Amino acid sequence: MERKKKVDPDSPPTLRDDIMAITKARLTLMVIVTTGIGFWVSSKENGFDLWLLIHTIFGTSLAALGSSVFNQLMEIDVDRKMERTRDRPLPAERLAPAPAFLLGTVLCGFGIVHLAAKVNAESSALVAVTLLTYVLIYTPMKRTSSWNTIVGAVSGAFPPMVGWAGAFGHPTQTEGVVFRWDLIFSPQSFFLFALLFFWQLPHFVAINWIYREQYKNGGFVMWSNDDDDGSKTSFYALLFTVPLVLLMAQPVVYQFSGWLLAVGGGLLGLWMLVLAIRFRKVRTKAAARKLFFYTLAYLPAILILLVIDWR
């Protein structure tokens, strides 16, 4: 009987491991899921095209991988200071900045061009704006202003909009337009954006406060800095959860979903609100962790309701 080789936990990471780490490949799964759901609900109106979905997810994923590379290139010195990031490929000097820059450029450039050629100009433009917001505004802003959390949530809320716009494909000759602004500024597109935007805020402020010392030592300017009693952070967690509850009324008002999403999503949001209120009252790491872990459960639950009830 052949014996399996044991993996040495102390062995150095392979090149494959480092590529996965510098592109944050596992985190790209969320981009894929939210882009795919945006595409799916849009295809209920436009008809489902499998190849168009594949091209939309492929181009968006490449750009997301590339943006992670640029993010880590800009934060090498910060990552060296933080225990949870100091073993990343760049601060640990297993990868040099020059080839990493080339990798990020190729991934982002090819992703944007692929979307423009195989999907449409609207999805390509949304991804380009996402990259600009994430790399050129959010990443440097983390060291200068605590409002970087808002900007980061903006960039993180674009993927379902990309999927929504992508499902429309290229405009037909009868449409007679090159760029369809109405795809981006439709009520449905706004709802998808707002859902991801407001979900991210209680999610991130909770984890920021739990690891506030690490963020502060790394040189990041966060709301949780010097907020040892949690008064400021818990206020923001509560403040940004309220719109998430109220948002569930919009699909019913504009008639692109039924009451299942409104009631189910409202109840899910109300429980998050209860956890945010508890965090506000007790201001302990245990309360912050409960809120954080609930946000992880909230997102797939609300997305399932969205897929089922979208008209």
pTM for this prediction: 0.90
CB neighbourhood size of 11 (10 A): 8
At residue 39, the pLDDT reads 97
At residue 10, the pLDDT reads 60
For the chain, the domains span 13-180, 186-311
At residue 176, the pLDDT reads 74
At residue 203, the pLDDT reads 96
Helices (H) and strands (E) in the chain, counts: 16, 0
At residue 1, the pLDDT reads 39
At residue 78, the pLDDT reads 82
- The span from the CA of 247 to the CA of 258, in Å, is 14
CATH class belonging to 13-180: mainly alpha
Residues 6+ apart with CB under 8 A from 100: 22, 69, 72, 73, 89, 90
- The span from the CA of 210 to the CA of 66, in Å, is 28
Say what angle helices 28-46 and 159-166 make with each other, to 10 degrees.
30
Which stretches in the chain have pLDDT values below 70?
Answer: 1-10
- The span from the CA of 129 to the CA of 152, in Å, is 12
CATH class belonging to 186-311: mainly alpha
Copy the structure tokens of residue 279: 């965090």
Query: Under a CB-based contact definition with an 8 Å cutoff, are residues 206 and 237 in contact?
Result: yes
Element of type H or E holding 35 = helix 28-46
DSSP structure class, residue 249: G
At residue 241, the pLDDT reads 97
